[in-house]
Chains A and B, each alone.
Chain A
């Protein structure tokens, strides 16, 4: 593994170079292939982990209905659902199901998990995208600025700001945002993804995506689009700032790292302006590690989504997860968590590929 600097300033003959030269030999295609194959163990491990954890709690039936049914009724249903078979058998079966995209049926409100995922996945996706946009808009320029002004006071301010973004629990931030914009100023809606009338109209859409912005665009009424967007503002900020904080620090550190590289000095010695040094010469090499790490932010993002969605009644997977958790519906929880695992794995895959594409040492 290499530090940012080593990434870009590798002396010839050092291990990086060697493997590097090999990668070049193999080319991008092989890299993508390897990286793609890596998805499976990751997903597999997470799914297994979740499955085993969930089983240690006991079977889902008892968990969700234990309060209501008497012993024999429970036994019946447990048997019917096959939860009394050896765990390994259930496990194999479960894997099979996941492979065929069938995650089972929720116990508390018997809906097919796949439906749940489809219905609420869009919402979470939408929120995540908004949040990322906020994070990028806030995090990356400020990060560069901080690197540019490093160790002067604006830098310090920005960094403390970044930490604050991160240090404020999403739900607390959400609370304050609601209070200020929703209650005191009353300029923004405090909950939900759209007003009743909007949602009613969306219900009528023949092919609704569950991604409200798209649906709103389908309807095409600017008022509705505005309505949808205005509902997204606060959640996006609450969740976005969380990640923005990390981005800011990420960009700062790596840009500073590359700023101290010889080639930046070299460029400087040819009269390239300081700003351009940051903007171009230092930023792009820094981008490779940044992107890779940004990949890991998806985890932070999804974790935050659970809290954000609950705070803002943003009815997405995170929100549902919280709901099912309190209903002790572990089949549902298991399903959602498994999906999130897949999402995480795939995102990291994509991100690594993008990073590789940016890195000419891999591209061919």
Chain B
């Protein structure tokens, strides 16, 4: 397979995925499918090199805080887009101004919450004026879906560019250029000779990406060798089955995705808004739940090892990640412990069994959610401490209800915008009275808020890591949410494809440039 377009030494490579692209224009999309493409073709000022979770200048030469609120980036000289247009500071300014101006609902502009304005004093200098001082996360943001730099000569300033416009104009300066674009069906990439950044040149000249709707078809095609690599997403069953297949290799890498369930502090049993409100009892209920969940079982039975247990709020692989819940709850080795749960409840004087309504969703958090939560139900009920009423709801309704506080205990999942611990803390637990955090469970701890702010502006790596650990510990004690699983990134490649391991890193960006066949 493969072929088409011009070829050089390297064998063309075909990749299959069940991702869905929504819009190619970075200002108009904020989803994995589109970002996966943008990562290949758009340049970033900052990016995560292979194998590391931390960001470094990509097409930028350097970047520093020239003042607490002024983050200045120097571009490498003589950068060009694949179409020959110069890539200068004005393109960069154009990109971010545009993002903020359009502020598309499906777009990532919300990530630029801390960006006041952008200046381009000269061809290679960009100055980002921030709202809060020495924001350590901003570099990460520059590598996030808000980061791709676009060609001002191609993209309209005030509205989204259509996919055709972008592809036709070859407004790309990432590792790849797109030669043929068949929406959500087939994209043909060709290495972009003009790219000169931290990731280096592409190993494979021509890459074709085939878009599938059904995981089983993707699986069958990689098994039959119709495609060389299958990345995102194979059903747990498929992965388990492919592991046994000698013709292909299954690669696991750390995944940024986390799955967890949330307690609504107001409506959960003994919650502040309930008739028998009692913080102590409420906490006991949460602890008991944490004691009872069996993450290994979930990871093995339901997800066939495509997810791994998550014992903290910051997933494994990121700087500052811990396993605090392992020590605090369950049998101390990560397994469940009914006795401990019983005790927790008894000590707080909670009469068992505790009735809880557990809400989950399948059309957004994946078909397997129903199996996952069926399993959790039976885990919680195992010791007779809980009686769980399971309820699933279609996503639109689901998100409305949970925001309205209809659900007392409910499932959520998170996929990071950028690979930094901050992205797993701020949106969840940074909860000053003026602004509600994304999970909206009325959990509020000023101390935690303070710490979160602090880590955000601490430039010293080690010190910041300590703060992050501290936050995790504090939160773990109160359990606003119970983390369950951390998604592995799973890629399957036919024998003879190399480089998969390199790109399955904590950057959570799958780069085709790393792959080669031969």
The residues of A that contact B186 with a CB separation of less than 8 Å are 196, 199-200, 203
Are A196 and B210 CB-contacts (below 8 A) given A109-B23, A203-B186?
yes
- Report whether A190 and B220 are in contact in the complex, using a CB–CB cutoff of 8 Å: yes
Are A178 and B23 CB-contacts (below 8 A) given A313-B213, A328-B396?
no
The residues of B that contact A5 with a CB separation of less than 8 Å are none
Are A196 and B180 CB-contacts (below 8 A) given A73-B105, A313-B213?
no
- Report whether B182 and A203 are in contact in the complex, using a CB–CB cutoff of 8 Å: yes
Additional A-B contacts beyond A191-B214, A200-B5 (4; CB < 8 A): A67-B396, A191-B220, A196-B14, A197-B4
Task: Decide if B307 is an interface residue (CB 8 Å cutoff).
Answer: no
Q: B residues bordering A, Cβ < 8 Å? A: 1-5, 14, 20-23, 28, 105-106, 160, 180, 182-186, 188, 208, 210, 212-214, 217, 220-221, 224, 226-227, 363-364, 394-396, 398-400
A62 and chain B: residue at smallest CB distance: B396
Q: In angstroms, how far is the closest chain B Cβ from the Cβ of A145?
A: 37
Are A110 and B182 CB-contacts (below 8 A) given A69-B105, A200-B188?
no
Q: Give A315 to B363 CA distance when docked, in angstroms.
A: 21
A326 and chain B: residue at smallest CB distance: B363
Are A201 and B105 CB-contacts (below 8 A) given A119-B183, A190-B220?
no
The residues of A that contact B227 with a CB separation of less than 8 Å are 196
Task: Decide if A122 is an interface residue (CB 8 Å cutoff).
Answer: no
Q: Give A77 to B103 CA distance when docked, in angstroms.
A: 12
- Report whether A313 and B396 are in contact in the complex, using a CB–CB cutoff of 8 Å: no
- Report whether B212 and A313 are in contact in the complex, using a CB–CB cutoff of 8 Å: yes
Category for how many chain A residues contact B: 35 or more
Q: Give A33 to B503 CA distance when docked, in angstroms.
A: 65
Proximity bits, A176-205, B CB within 8 Å = 1, else 0: 001000110010011110011101110110
- Report whether A186 and B224 are in contact in the complex, using a CB–CB cutoff of 8 Å: yes
The residues of B that contact A192 with a CB separation of less than 8 Å are 210, 217
The residues of A that contact B214 with a CB separation of less than 8 Å are 191, 310-311, 313
Are A328 and B180 CB-contacts (below 8 A) given A108-B22, A110-B160, A319-B213?
no
Could you say which of B182, B213, B220 contacts A323, with CB atoms under 8 Å apart?
A: B213
The residues of B that contact A109 with a CB separation of less than 8 Å are 21-23, 183
The residues of B that contact A323 with a CB separation of less than 8 Å are 20, 213
Q: In angstroms, how far is the closest chain B Cβ from the Cβ of A60?
A: 11
- Report whether A195 and B226 are in contact in the complex, using a CB–CB cutoff of 8 Å: yes
Q: In angstroms, how far is the closest chain B Cβ from the Cβ of A99?
A: 25
Q: Give A328 to B394 CA distance when docked, in angstroms.
A: 10
The residues of A that contact B210 with a CB separation of less than 8 Å are 192, 196
- Report whether B188 and A65 are in contact in the complex, using a CB–CB cutoff of 8 Å: no
- Report whether B224 and A110 are in contact in the complex, using a CB–CB cutoff of 8 Å: no
- Report whether B4 and A68 are in contact in the complex, using a CB–CB cutoff of 8 Å: no
Task: Decide if A66 is an interface residue (CB 8 Å cutoff).
Answer: yes
- Report whether B2 and A196 are in contact in the complex, using a CB–CB cutoff of 8 Å: yes
- Report whether B185 and A195 are in contact in the complex, using a CB–CB cutoff of 8 Å: no
B21 and chain A: residue at smallest CB distance: A109
- Report whether B395 and A67 are in contact in the complex, using a CB–CB cutoff of 8 Å: yes
Which of A69, A183, A203 has the most chain B CB within a 10 Å cutoff?
A: A203
